[in-house]
């Protein structure tokens, strides 16, 4: 019998099993579902290969591929996953199957329809991203303690902007906040020193997967 999951399709760039390189589950074995397409063009983007191409997968096929790895953690990423409306059905199905699910989103698109059991990682775009104007601040009202806000820092101006937003809006009281150095643009040690100097209530993070495997796609 053909089910709704068989008829629901998403364009997928890759599905792979690796260590989570960021967020609060860093280092944990995770299945990543990278959906194709993104309306943003951040200057530091490291997944431009996911802007186009990919291939159509039925929801059933995606779930079968995830199950093959028997994971605890599943991350839906992109591109911008929410650019495909069917992403919401995928998130619902993953939660229903008992996975610990996270969504990596730019924050430009509405997150109000995301299943409450999903941990949202919302990337507030800094001035240095070139896409700050795309921030949808209404999304902040849909964040809970299970979610995270990420700032990718490209330099001093981004740091000051992120620091001001963090403290003026008490973002750390809403959920955990991440400060991450943009690879090749922000010295990680300098950012760490600034966070310590200013005693910011944030989590400093570097991209573990890049330390281990460089820019190799699918890792």
Tens of pLDDT along 104-149?
999 899 999 999 999 999 999 999 999 999 999 999 999 999 999 9
Assign domain 4-213 to its CATH superfamily: Aldolase class I (3.20.20.70)
> Where is average pLDDT lowest: 5-14, 77-86, 161-170?
5-14
Residue-range domain boundaries for the chain? 4-213
First to last CA, the chain: 36
pLDDT tens for each residue of 57-83: 999 999 999 999 999 999 999 999 999
């Amino acid at each position: 019998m053909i089910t709704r999951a068989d008829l629901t399709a998403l364009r997928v760039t890759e599905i792979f099993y690796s260590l989570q390189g960021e967020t609060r589950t860093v280092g944990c074995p995770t299945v990543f579902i990278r959906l194709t397409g993104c309306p943003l063009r951040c200057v530091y983007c490291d997944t431009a290969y996911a802007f186009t191409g990919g291939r159509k997968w039925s929801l059933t096929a995606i779930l079968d591929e995830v199950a093959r790895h028997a994971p605890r953690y599943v991350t839906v990423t992109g591109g911008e996953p929410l650019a495909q409306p069917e992403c919401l059905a995928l998130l619902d199905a993953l939660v229903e199957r008992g996975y610990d699910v996270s969504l990596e989103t730019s924050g430009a698109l509405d997150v109000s329809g995301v299943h409450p059991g999903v941990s949202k990682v919302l990337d507030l775009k800094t001035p240095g991203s070139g896409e700050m104007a795309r921030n949808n601040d209404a999304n902040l009202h849909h964040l809970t303690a299970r979610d995270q806000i990420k700032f990718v820092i490209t330099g001093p101006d981004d740091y000051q902007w992120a620091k001001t937003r963090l403290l003026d809006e008490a973002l750390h009281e809403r959920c955990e906040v991440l400060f991450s150095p943009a690879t090749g643009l922000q010295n990680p040690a300098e950012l760490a020193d600034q966070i310590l100097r200013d005693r910011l209530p944030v989590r400093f993070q570097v991209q573990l997967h890049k330390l281990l495997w460089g820019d190799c796609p699918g890792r």
